[in-house]
Chain A
Amino acid sequence: MKRHVLSVLVENQSGVLSRVSGLFSRRGYNIDSLSVGETEDPKVSRMTIVVRGDDHILEQIKKQLNKLIDVIKVVELDPEQSVFRELALIKVKTNMTTRASVIEIVDIFRANIVDVAADTLTVEMTGDEAKIEAFIALMDSYGIAEIVRTGLTALQRGNKAIKNLNEI
């Protein structure tokens, strides 16, 4: 099933996240990730939702989201015209012999080491999904203690913007 990235502007109110996530579970839509945060307007939040489904399901998802009173606008982001990023923190098991080579890979990936302990290194990396997956795969042989990922967040490229909220 095809992957789609939806950018959803919602009222920044309690209960909105529950309404949106509840909609996906009760209608049986598959959701890969959902990230949410405040926008340039503190009354509006933006959710980036990654969903899987055919065109029919995607159309239903968009329509059902639009039906929610607190949803202001739903836009499907075109991968060619958008910047997709995800943040991951990866705690890698290291020892005296492996530490140097882990650091080397971290550098190649332009990631950062944000915490060092006797037997672990915590790496912060930002990128698209493929880059993070590749890094995780490489770290697997050293042993991964913990991973946390934010889920995808995205914006349209250039001067395109989802705006003029009162005119829509």
Chain B
Amino acid sequence: MADCEGVIDLKASEAIIKCLLEEQVDTVFGYPGGYILNVYDALRRSKINHILVRQEQAAAHSASGYARVSGKVGVCIATSGPGATNLITGIATAYMDSIPMVIFTGQVKSSLIGRDVFQEADITGATESFTKHSYLVKNANELPRIIKDAFYIASTGRPGPVLIDLPDDIQSEEIEFKYPDTVDIRGYKPTTTGHMGQIKRAVKAIEKSSRPLIIAGGGVILAKARAELLRFVEKTGIPVVHTLMGKGALPSQNPHYVGMIGTHGFAEANMAMAKADLLIFIGARIADRAWGGVGDKIPKSVKIIHIDIDPAEIGKNVGTQIPLVGDAKYILTEMTEKIGKLDNSQWLSEIQASKKPQKSGSSDRVEPKYAVRLLSDKLNDNAVLVADVGQNQIWAARNFEDRPNRHFLTSGGLGTMGYALPASVGAKIAEPERQVVAVVGDGGFQMSIQELGTIAANNLGIKIILFNNSRLGMVRELQERRFGKTTEVFLDKNPDFIKLCSAYGIEGIRVNNNSELEKALEVAIEKEGPFLVECLVDPTESTL
């Protein structure tokens, strides 16, 4: 097809790689298999870096970690059937935290779909409720348009994962390739600029309020609106609390910073929520974990402004008087411009005065809250901390100091154990110059322990802080509280993690108590390659 400008004949698998290059993709995470061979063959001949994970779920988590640190779309690839179904937890994790991702899966030949042949699974059907969109490609010529749309859908509006299922025969078809310049999806026109009338109403409400409070969610970070939030706060003096996903929205040292809300948040942050006369939610879903322990204390008379790029989030969990649909970066900029300088110092100092010093436990073993604080002090200003799920997540979230260029990653929505190790792989590959630390428990570590292979093979200088209490600590706590007895939470027969890492060629130190900790952290940070710091923690250690 030489007569049409810019159109070339290309094998579909080659076209897919060309599309990825057009989208500035330089790294993909994946695991090959029988029905994705064509794509891998094209990948082999390209300059795109492929990271071979050890199980497909890790490919999705790594792509997610990569996306969150780089701000780009994360890409992962797996084969059909079990390859695709292994991705599922990773896709759902990304969906709940609104992470931009494009997922390619192999599929059996088009003519065999629906016959339950070897390694066939309906992956678009299975992921329907936790992908932003998905495609089962039926016509190879539509691939460039589909991939262009997929990257656009994944990265705009409220970001999310988009899956493209590629039947084997489609991958090897010859197509007329031209990458589209523009996107026009009639059913998808995300609102980015806020409604000016609503912005003015919000500004007026803030100026009239006497105890306004900002609740920053993950949307502030996804919108790359941290600087805009800071400017808004500096001009208005409004105190800021945050959700788990909103950790990092405002540096912890900022005088307006109060702390994390919710069931695992700080009392003063929840108290501020209950006392405020105006709540300004920014990019927060206000799900049960954030609203828990405080929602019922909030008087009905409180005014609520809810800023979110997803209109469906507004009014879903809490009612609102002033809905503001749009991009947090844009809206905060507009509001900062329109609002007068306010004095909220009395309200702020009232909240700050209620702050209690953090409890420090007394333990013969390593005290995890102290350990995270010490770690935080030792790390650079632009370090990335990836927390797993369980007690370790809360220890990390409550004690890791947020600085303007730091990143805190965790599975906040789905709460996926095993997230931290593979996500830290993605983070380290996205920005190799930054320190990347995975904070894990002995339960979650073993859910993704095979990724030590990926870390070792790529010599990724990830530091693993393992809090080993030989328990599923958070479940143990929940059981004690609700049933008085514990069951199936005992991991006393854990392997020797130092030896295990050593088998992968990864060095490590076991830390028995607080006094040995500082030296171990220094060694870990000093070392070039990956390193394990195994902290032995009392099995009865509490989350809060």
Seen from chain A, the residues whose Cβ lies within 8 Å of a Cβ on chain B are: 10-11, 14-15, 18-19, 22-23, 26, 56, 59-60, 63-64, 66-72, 165-166, 168
Complex interface: chain A residues within 8 A of B189 (CB): 168
Of B73-81, B180-188, B374-382, the segment with at least 4 beta carbons within 8 Å of chain A is B180-188
Taken together as a complex, chains A and B put the C-alpha atoms of A59 and B319 apart, in Å, by 12
B315/A69 in contact, CB under 8 A? no
B187/A56 in contact, CB under 8 A? no
With a 10 A CB-CB cut-off, give which of B125, B133, B134, B312 has the most chain A CB atoms: B312
Q: Judge if B136 is at the interface, Cβ distance under 8 Å.
A: yes
Known: A67-B310, A72-B187, A168-B186. 15 other contacts (CB 8 A): A11-B187, A15-B134, A15-B136, A18-B128, A19-B128, A22-B129, A23-B129, A60-B315, A60-B316, A67-B312, A69-B132, A69-B133, A69-B153, A69-B188, A165-B186
A69/B128 in contact, CB under 8 A? no
B187/A68 in contact, CB under 8 A? yes
- Shortest beta-carbon distance from A10 to chain B in Å: 8
B310/A18 in contact, CB under 8 A? no
26 residue pairs bridging A and B, Cβ less than 8 Å apart: A10-B187, A14-B136, A15-B124, A15-B136, A18-B128, A22-B129, A23-B129, A26-B129, A59-B315, A63-B311, A63-B312, A64-B312, A66-B311, A66-B312, A67-B310, A68-B187, A69-B132, A69-B187, A70-B187, A71-B187, A72-B186, A72-B187, A165-B186, A166-B186, A168-B186, A168-B189
CB-CB contacts of B36-71 with A at 8 A, as 1s and 0s? 000000000000000000000000000000000000
Complex interface: chain A residues within 8 A of B310 (CB): 67
CB-CB contacts of B97-136 with A at 8 A, as 1s and 0s? 0000000000000000000000000001100110011101
Taken together as a complex, chains A and B put the C-alpha atoms of A12 and B48 apart, in Å, by 36
**Residues of chain B from 498 to 537 with CB closer than 8 A to chain A in the complex:** none
B312/A60 in contact, CB under 8 A? yes
Taken together as a complex, chains A and B put the C-alpha atoms of A60 and B187 apart, in Å, by 17
Taken together as a complex, chains A and B put the C-alpha atoms of A72 and B186 apart, in Å, by 6
CB-CB contacts of B165-209 with A at 8 A, as 1s and 0s? 000000000000000000001111100000000000000000000
For B315, the closest partner residue in chain A by CB is A59
Complex interface: chain B residues within 8 A of A23 (CB): 129
Taken together as a complex, chains A and B put the C-alpha atoms of A127 and B445 apart, in Å, by 63
Taken together as a complex, chains A and B put the C-alpha atoms of A23 and B129 apart, in Å, by 7
Complex interface: chain B residues within 8 A of A165 (CB): 186
Complex interface: chain B residues within 8 A of A68 (CB): 187
Complex interface: chain A residues within 8 A of B124 (CB): 15
CB-CB contacts of B141-180 with A at 8 A, as 1s and 0s? 0000000000001000000000000000000000000000
Taken together as a complex, chains A and B put the C-alpha atoms of A63 and B317 apart, in Å, by 14
Taken together as a complex, chains A and B put the C-alpha atoms of A42 and B107 apart, in Å, by 28
Complex interface: chain B residues within 8 A of A19 (CB): 128
- Shortest beta-carbon distance from B186 to chain A in Å: 5
**4 closest Cβ pairs, A-B complex:** A63-B312, A69-B133, A72-B187, A69-B188
- Shortest beta-carbon distance from B136 to chain A in Å: 7
Taken together as a complex, chains A and B put the C-alpha atoms of A141 and B310 apart, in Å, by 53
- Shortest beta-carbon distance from A61 to chain B in Å: 10
- Shortest beta-carbon distance from A99 to chain B in Å: 46
Q: A11-B187, A70-B187, A165-B186 are in contact. Are A18 and B312 (CB under 8 A)?
A: no
For B133, the closest partner residue in chain A by CB is A69
Taken together as a complex, chains A and B put the C-alpha atoms of A68 and B188 apart, in Å, by 8
For A60, the closest partner residue in chain B by CB is B316
- Shortest beta-carbon distance from A39 to chain B in Å: 14
Taken together as a complex, chains A and B put the C-alpha atoms of A60 and B310 apart, in Å, by 12
B125/A18 in contact, CB under 8 A? yes
Taken together as a complex, chains A and B put the C-alpha atoms of A68 and B132 apart, in Å, by 8
Taken together as a complex, chains A and B put the C-alpha atoms of A23 and B132 apart, in Å, by 12
With a 10 A CB-CB cut-off, give which of A14, A26, A63 has the most chain B CB atoms: A63
With a 10 A CB-CB cut-off, give which of B133, B186, B189, B310 has the most chain A CB atoms: B186
Complex interface: chain B residues within 8 A of A11 (CB): 187
For B189, the closest partner residue in chain A by CB is A168
Complex interface: chain B residues within 8 A of A168 (CB): 186, 189
- Shortest beta-carbon distance from B158 to chain A in Å: 8
Taken together as a complex, chains A and B put the C-alpha atoms of A19 and B130 apart, in Å, by 11
- Shortest beta-carbon distance from A24 to chain B in Å: 11
Taken together as a complex, chains A and B put the C-alpha atoms of A23 and B310 apart, in Å, by 16
- Shortest beta-carbon distance from A42 to chain B in Å: 15
Taken together as a complex, chains A and B put the C-alpha atoms of A165 and B186 apart, in Å, by 7
With a 10 A CB-CB cut-off, give which of A10, A11, A14, A67 has the most chain B CB atoms: A67
- Shortest beta-carbon distance from B268 to chain A in Å: 32
B133/A22 in contact, CB under 8 A? no
Taken together as a complex, chains A and B put the C-alpha atoms of A18 and B185 apart, in Å, by 20
Taken together as a complex, chains A and B put the C-alpha atoms of A168 and B189 apart, in Å, by 9
- Shortest beta-carbon distance from A43 to chain B in Å: 10
Taken together as a complex, chains A and B put the C-alpha atoms of A10 and B134 apart, in Å, by 15
Taken together as a complex, chains A and B put the C-alpha atoms of A72 and B153 apart, in Å, by 15
Complex interface: chain B residues within 8 A of A26 (CB): 129
Taken together as a complex, chains A and B put the C-alpha atoms of A165 and B311 apart, in Å, by 20
- Shortest beta-carbon distance from B189 to chain A in Å: 8
Complex interface: chain B residues within 8 A of A66 (CB): 311-312
Taken together as a complex, chains A and B put the C-alpha atoms of A70 and B128 apart, in Å, by 13
Taken together as a complex, chains A and B put the C-alpha atoms of A56 and B186 apart, in Å, by 26
- Shortest beta-carbon distance from B91 to chain A in Å: 15
- Shortest beta-carbon distance from B315 to chain A in Å: 6
Complex interface: chain A residues within 8 A of B134 (CB): 15
Taken together as a complex, chains A and B put the C-alpha atoms of A60 and B317 apart, in Å, by 10
A69/B185 in contact, CB under 8 A? yes
- Shortest beta-carbon distance from B293 to chain A in Å: 24
Taken together as a complex, chains A and B put the C-alpha atoms of A146 and B482 apart, in Å, by 52
For B312, the closest partner residue in chain A by CB is A63
- Shortest beta-carbon distance from A113 to chain B in Å: 40
With a 10 A CB-CB cut-off, give which of B129, B189, B310 has the most chain A CB atoms: B129
Taken together as a complex, chains A and B put the C-alpha atoms of A26 and B130 apart, in Å, by 11
- Shortest beta-carbon distance from B322 to chain A in Å: 16
Taken together as a complex, chains A and B put the C-alpha atoms of A70 and B162 apart, in Å, by 13
- Shortest beta-carbon distance from B391 to chain A in Å: 31
CB-CB contacts of B298-333 with A at 8 A, as 1s and 0s? 000000000000111001100000000000000000
